Amino acid sequence: MNTYITTPIFYVNAQPHLGHAYTTIVADTYSRYKRLCGDNVRFQTGTDEHGEKIIQAAEDAGVSPKEYVDKISGLFREAWPVLTIEPDVFIRTTDADHIQTVQAILQKVYDQGDIYFDEYSGLYCKGCERFLTEKELVDDKCPDHLTLPKEIREQNYFFRMGNYQEWLIDHIKKNPDFITPERYRNEVLSFLKEPLEDLCISRPTSRVTWGIPFPFDDRFVTYVWFDALINYLTGIGYPDGEEFEKYWQVAEHVIAKDILKPHAIYWPTMLKAMGLEPYRKLHVHGYWKIGETKMSKSLGNVVRPVEMAERFGVDAVRYFLLRDMSFGLDSGYTPEAVVARQNADLANDLGNLFSRSLTMVKKFAGGKVPEPGDPQEIDNQLADAAQEMMAAYQREMNDFSFHKALQAIWALISKANKYIVSTEPWELAKDPANRQRLDTVFYHLLEALRLIALTVQPVMPHTAEKMFDALNLKNDGDLAELGQWGLLQPGLEVKRIKSLFPRLDLEELKKQADSQKPATHKKSQKKEETELISFDDFKKLDLRVGEIVAAEKVKKSDRLLKLTVKSPEERIIVAGIAEHFTPEDVIGRQVIIVANLKPVKLMGVVSHGMVLAARDGDNLMLTGVSGSVTPGSKIS
Ligand code: ME8
């Protein structure tokens, strides 16, 4: 069997965040799972590099569009291996073969009469890079970008999307799995109840230059969505070639709900016009949110996945993302939720099961897989539970219900932990007459561990490797074969395993969050990614010289000092500097402060601003100006 799985190609107007990482981890996990099932797998991701947003971002950064896209695309490409994401293809829409493919498709669809030239006026949203219909607006604004769209009248090329409306409705109805979960299929069908307008697929070069030139009219470049969607074909060598033959018929796309319309409506109709079969499946997930708000680059409330991996460990992040989100629904991110999962599910349930089982086998069975005797009822129950898990796991993984697949594994982990409590191997070990019973118990336990290692592997490759190593097994072969109960060979030597996951301290983490300091992880201090901001963003900061006129320790905190800072009015600032400075050290010093931060309450004290300091390894230095200035002087 063949599997072709793709993520969206991400815009390079911002660096990768947790939302991008989630989609890409989903695709990576699915591709690992399908490989485990013996499939030939092609996994593709990449970057979307044309369009107005990109020009704007490059201008803001003061570099050429090419320099800009090379840099940000590189950040995506480099982030994925850190998260153990291993795509087969990383495509960029500025690649020469992609440009050629888009132009060939435009020419073909134009030649057959599905593209025409017309004048159009409409409401254009720069953020969406498309014309919006009146119906889509909320309070006259784009609901995604909360901006007023601009009335634009211009001549453009249009794709006869409306011609394919009936065909599309019919295709969706006949293929219940075409768009999943069902809520999104229903959303698309309900949208298609209204007449489908033709799609404007060009942008005049007078307005947008950073795009793929139209092959039959050099006054226009290609609309970024018409360009971007075609990446799914370019990456497998369309229009000819072995890969295209092999993979197009099994194409599955993973996206979030923000880009449902282009994928569920533009793309299948484009494919139909090209004379191709539509993709096989569209898997649509919800949003990662911070509080009630979608995590998004435009809102700036993003979590960086690479930093998360450094803080919690890659496998813990992958597990958390797949376990906490029900595929299709929204989910909230908090560091506390990651810690809770890590401590309960990973360190406690899974980690303990492995370490105590292997320790007992070492201690009471000479560190070898024993020959089992006749099983008792309780042993058969564990074996049955393992087989039920295998069936549920495969069903849920095939269905993109990753959280349920993980729940099925954890149900077995919990059974195995209870099995230890019920069979009490340490008691059996006291009497040599129980030898065979003890061997049977260990065999069943180790066999359950093997199946757990096998099934967690697509989600947590590093952890699975450690487990396989401890069980002295090679991590290769196919699920249908390896997923059977009873394959473990007696006599095989097993190793003890150090704890698979450390327990994290939630209180410590909260303290760090309170004092607004990043996690004290060595690596995270090593290198910090710099997000480019515009001059306008910089201008928003009110930086001033402040003079510390009083200072005291904040009660019950080792880290916080309460400072009274003259700037020129007196204000209270709570600073996380108590590990480096006593109150006496800082009184009378002039420092640089951010004067227009929203007040926050830290350990019961309201802080009105922030003192800037430089961190150098473990040292902290306060910033200041050379010479004495009037408190409140602006830094510009
Ligand atoms: O739309 N939660 O690129 P994009 C979950 N270039 N997933 C999220 C997310 C969140 N808060 N935020 C972003 C584009 N994503 C186009 C795609 S494809 C031919 C062209 C993920 O950089 C999610 O996969 O805006 C979403 O669909 C995608 O990033 C949007 O990425």
Nearest C-alpha neighbor of 35 from the set 89, 88, 90? 88
Nearest C-alpha neighbor of 308 from the set 29, 27, 21? 21
| Sheet containing 213-214: order of strands | 202-204, 217-222, 213-214
Q: Are 359 and 471 in contact (CB under 8 A)?
A: no
The residues near 600 (Cβ < 8 Å, ≥ 6 apart) are: 516, 606, 607
CA 631 – CA 636 distance, rounded (Å) = 15
Angle at 332 between CA 326 and CA 333, to 5 degrees: 115
43 CA → ligand 1 middle, Å: 17
Q: Which of 17, 48, 85, 212 to mutate to test the pocket of ligand 1 (most atoms within 8 A of CB)?
A: 48
Residue 203 exposure: Cα atoms within 13 Å on the Cβ side? 22
48 lines ligand 1 (CB under 6 A): yes
Q: Helix, strand, or coil here: 564?
A: strand
CA 85 – CA 31 distance, rounded (Å) = 10
CA 154 – CA 119 distance, rounded (Å) = 6
Q: Helix, strand, or coil here: 478?
A: coil
294 catalytic per annotation: yes
**How would residue 617 be classed by pLDDT, with cut points 50, 70 and 90?**
low
Residue 257 CB coordination number (10 Å): 17
Question: Model-level pTM?
Answer: 0.81
- 295 burial (CB, 10 Å; 0-12 / 13-18 / 19+) is buried
Residue-range domains of the chain with CATH: 2-331 (3.40.50.620), 334-482 (1.10.730.10), 535-622 (2.40.50.140)
580 catalytic per annotation: no
Q: What is the pLDDT of residues 252-275, one digit of tens each?
A: 999 999 999 999 999 999 999 999
Q: Are 448 and 473 in contact (CB under 8 A)?
A: no
8 lines ligand 1 (CB under 6 A): yes
Cis peptide leading into residue 518 (ω within 30°): no
Q: Which of 10, 22, 257, 308 to mutate to test the pocket of ligand 1 (most atoms within 8 A of CB)?
A: 10
Helix (H) or strand (E) holding 245: helix 242-247
Atom of ligand 1 nearest to the CA of 256: 27
Q: What is the pLDDT of residues 133-164, one digit of tens each?
A: 888 899 999 988 888 999 999 999 999 999 99
Residue 372, token pair as written in the block? 């089992």
Residue 499 exposure: Cα atoms within 13 Å on the Cβ side? 11
Nearest residue (by CA) to ligand 1, atom 4, is 10
Nearest residue (by CA) to ligand 1, atom 30, is 10
Sign of the dihedral through C-alpha 625, 631, 633, 634:
positive
Give how far Cα 247 sits from Cα of 35, 447, 506, Å: 14, 36, 46
CA–chain centroid gap for 581, Å, is 39
30 lines ligand 1 (CB under 6 A): no
Cis peptide leading into residue 568 (ω within 30°): yes
Nearest residue (by CA) to ligand 1, atom 29, is 20
Residue 288, token pair as written in the block? 């990662």
The residues near 93 (Cβ < 8 Å, ≥ 6 apart) are: 9, 46, 47, 48, 49, 50, 99, 212, 227, 228, 231
CA 368 – CA 471 distance, rounded (Å) = 9
What pLDDT does 96 receive?
97
* Of 226-230, 331-335, 534-538, 545-549, the least confident: 534-538
Nearest C-alpha neighbor of 231 from the set 361, 97, 119? 97
Residue 628, token pair as written in the block? 């004495």
224 CA → ligand 1 middle, Å: 14
For the chain, how many residues are written?
A: 636
Annotated catalytic residue, options 98, 253, 272, 294: 294
Pairing of β 281-285 and β 2-11: unpaired
CA 138 – CA 136 distance, rounded (Å) = 7
233 lines ligand 1 (CB under 6 A): no
553 catalytic per annotation: no
Nearest residue (by CA) to ligand 1, atom 27, is 256
149 lines ligand 1 (CB under 6 A): no
Residue 524 has pLDDT above 60, yes or no: no
CA 216 – CA 228 distance, rounded (Å) = 19
Please state the rounded mean pLDDT for residues 3-25. Answer: 95
What pLDDT does 535 receive?
76
Q: Are 199 and 163 in contact (CB under 8 A)?
A: no
Mean pLDDT of the chain: 92
Annotated catalytic residue, options 71, 108, 141, 145: 145
192 lines ligand 1 (CB under 6 A): no
Annotated catalytic residue, options 34, 53, 125, 283: 125
Annotated catalytic residue, options 297, 444, 562, 608: 297
Q: What is the pLDDT of residues 331-374, one digit of tens each?
A: 999 989 999 999 999 999 999 999 999 999 999 999 999 999 99
**How would residue 433 be classed by pLDDT, with cut points 50, 70 and 90?**
very high
200 lines ligand 1 (CB under 6 A): no
What pLDDT does 518 receive?
42
Residue 517 has pLDDT above 60, yes or no: no
CA 261 – CA 277 distance, rounded (Å) = 18
Nearest residue (by CA) to ligand 1, atom 26, is 256
222 lines ligand 1 (CB under 6 A): no
102 lines ligand 1 (CB under 6 A): no
Q: Which of 47, 90, 259, 308 to mutate to test the pocket of ligand 1 (most atoms within 8 A of CB)?
A: 259
Question: Over pLDDT 70: what percentage of the chain?
Answer: 96
CA 212 – CA 208 distance, rounded (Å) = 10
Pairing of β 150-159 and β 199-200: antiparallel
Q: What is the pLDDT of residues 163-222, one digit of tens each?
A: 999 999 999 999 999 999 999 999 999 999 999 999 999 999 998 899 999 999 999 999
185 CA → ligand 1 middle, Å: 19
327 lines ligand 1 (CB under 6 A): no
Cis peptide leading into residue 181 (ω within 30°): yes
The phi, psi pair for 594, rounded to 5°, reads -90, 115
85 CA → ligand 1 middle, Å: 17
